[in-house]
Amino acid sequence: MNVRSQIAMVFHLDKCIGCHTCSIACKNVWTDRKGTEYMWWNNVETKPGTGFPTQWENQDKYNGGWVTFQEKLELRSTSKTKTVFNIFHNPHQPSMDDYYEPWTYDYQHLFNAPEGNDQPTAIPLSLVTGKPMETIEAGPNWDDDLGGSPVYAANDPNLKNLPEDQRDQLFAIERLVYFYFPRICNHCLNPSCVAACPSGALYKRGEDGIVLVDQQRCRAWRACVAACPYKKVFYNWFTGKSEKCILCFPRLETGQAPACFHSCVGRIRYLGVLLYDAERIEEVAKRPDIELIDAHRAMILDPHDPEVIAAARTNGISDGVIESAQKSPVYQFVKVWKLALPPHIEYRTLPMLFYVPPLSPVMARRDGDTVDHVSDNLFHDIDESRVPMQFLANLFGAGHEGKVRYALAKQKAVRLYRRAVTVGDITMAMAERALREADCTVDEAEEIYRLTSLCTFDDRFVIPPAQREQAIEMMKDPHEHRQGAGFGFLTGPRRGL
């Protein structure tokens, strides 16, 4: 057992209102520089929809992630030999057209235009060339709220194996449905971006598992952009360096939640430590699709188990981190309650961001009916939900419905139980039956309810002590840098020499 700690995340999709506050918080802090305008380390997608970059889930087009080939795990986009031959031109690299050309508007013109018969307008100016843009063909959140659109929603790669009637149902007028899917870097356990980097510039931090690009080592070979199946590594066309979500590590190290977590209006985001067994990464990533979720859960270790604690201490994990792991809300959602599922685990990167699949909106296939809780099947509205189960399974279950249905049924049971407690139009006996059928207990339901609905800031974000400050002090004399320009970069991120 090789215990490592990882800062992991849960996004509760039922609570996401699609306000994009997270994206704006991130953009304002990290990606408002030249060359990064088009990057959205955090973005919120409408599902069904094509996402950002367009159709990123279509790996036949982008070739991201891992595949198993003859018992071996291989990158889909590259290999050691292919890297040698493709280094001059990466055949799988997306171009700016797959994202969008960033622009601003000629606001000056509104003030400086000579007097005339017409109101002056502010034409769009490209942030790449500075020249006026004839047409704006795409932009951030270009398909926002366009559930039901034959151009965007209909081209969602997750619709591929849906039966005709379910697909039609998603697009039926007055019944069309969509939900929001906020995305950041998953800080995977088996990151394909790291494995693809010819320079070894990408790395995973040992202490907290954050995946970073070493800007001093990145040489713009661009392999990471192609290899990440979630398309969460971006190429800065100005500095010639790749950049990605850094999980706001300067904030985490000082005990603050990352900007997108902190600003989340719907309070959908949870963050905490998971302890996992690093020895099993390769073995788990090679499992068949249907076993992946269970295997992934199994490699997450119980932070209360004395054996795990001892092994963690041997690996230099401090007691403070172990304690945060014990209080981790992510551990509850992922491992104990099994409510949170990894996105597209079939890409085999073992993501460390988990999603509670959305239960709402339910019930619209029944015409004009209300939910009939007296019927024998308490969960029929899940099986007949407006968002087809197969669609959610393609997103969160590697195509298999079982784990998704389990998570939805448990959420439904908790709702029934709370309705029995607070409204009383459902008998407690029925609520308890629902809990039983959903593999849940009254105590667990109470806990799920508390962490879902009543969670405070400190419940949602259990940030481990970083102890990096001490580490620096022990190794370097701080007086060495007195009156100097500080640690780290002493020059701005310029292009070339």
Partner 1 sequence: MDSWAHYLDQVLFAVLPYVAVFTLILVTIQRYRAQRFSYSSLSSQFLENRQHFWGLVPFHYGILTIIAGHVVAFLIPREILAWNSHPLRLYILELSALVFALMTLIGLLAGMVRRWTNPKIRIVTSASDWIIYLLLFVQIVSGIYVAVFYPWGSSWFSTSAAPYLWSLVKLNPDVSFVASMPHMVKLHIINAFLLIGFFPFTRLVHILVIPNPYLWRKPQVVRWYGKPKETAGGGA
> Of 331, 329, 396, nearest to 359 (Cα)?
396
419 lies in the binding site for partner 1 (CB under 8 A): no
Among the candidate windows 76-84, 292-300, 322-330, 438-446, which touches partner 1 by CB under 8 A? 76-84
Contacts for 12 with CB less than 8 Å, ≥ 6 apart: 268, 269, 270, 355, 356, 452
Among 246, 260, 281, 395, contact with partner 1 (rule: CB under 8 A): 281
Among 130, 306, 484, 486, contact with partner 1 (rule: CB under 8 A): 130
**Nearest distance, CB of residue 151 and partner 1, angstroms:** 23
Distance of CA 129 to the CA centre of its chain: 32
**Can you spell out the DSSP letters for 145-200?**
T-TT-TTTGGG-GGGTT--HHHHHHHHSTTT---EEEEE-----SS-HHHHH-TT-
313 lies in the binding site for partner 1 (CB under 8 A): no
Neighbours of 133 (CB within 10 A): 16
494 lies in the binding site for partner 1 (CB under 8 A): yes
363 lies in the binding site for partner 1 (CB under 8 A): no
Among 29, 33, 61, 203, contact with partner 1 (rule: CB under 8 A): 203
457 lies in the binding site for partner 1 (CB under 8 A): no
304 lies in the binding site for partner 1 (CB under 8 A): no
Say how many CA atoms lie within 13 Å of 295 toward its Cβ: 22
Q: Are 356 and 333 in contact (CB under 8 A)?
A: yes
Among 205, 267, 338, 373, contact with partner 1 (rule: CB under 8 A): 205
Distance CA 297, CA 176 (A): 34
233 lies in the binding site for partner 1 (CB under 8 A): no
Residues, the chain: 497
Q: Which of residues 468-487 bind partner 1 (CB under 8 A)?
A: 468, 471, 475
Distance CA 17, CA 395 (A): 19
**Nearest distance, CB of residue 81 and partner 1, angstroms:** 9
240 lies in the binding site for partner 1 (CB under 8 A): yes
**Can you spell out the DSSP letters for 13-40?**
GGG-----HHHHHHHHHHS-STT-TT--
Among the candidate windows 111-119, 146-154, 211-219, 434-442, which touches partner 1 by CB under 8 A? 211-219
Structural tokens at position 234: 């971006």
**Nearest distance, CB of residue 371 and partner 1, angstroms:** 46
The binding site for partner 1 (CB under 8 A) comprises 66, 72-75, 79-80, 83-84, 87-90, 93-97, 128-131, 190-192, 194-195, 197-200, 202-207, 215-222, 225, 235, 237-241, 278-279, 281-282, 285, 348, 468, 471, 475, 489, 491, 493-497
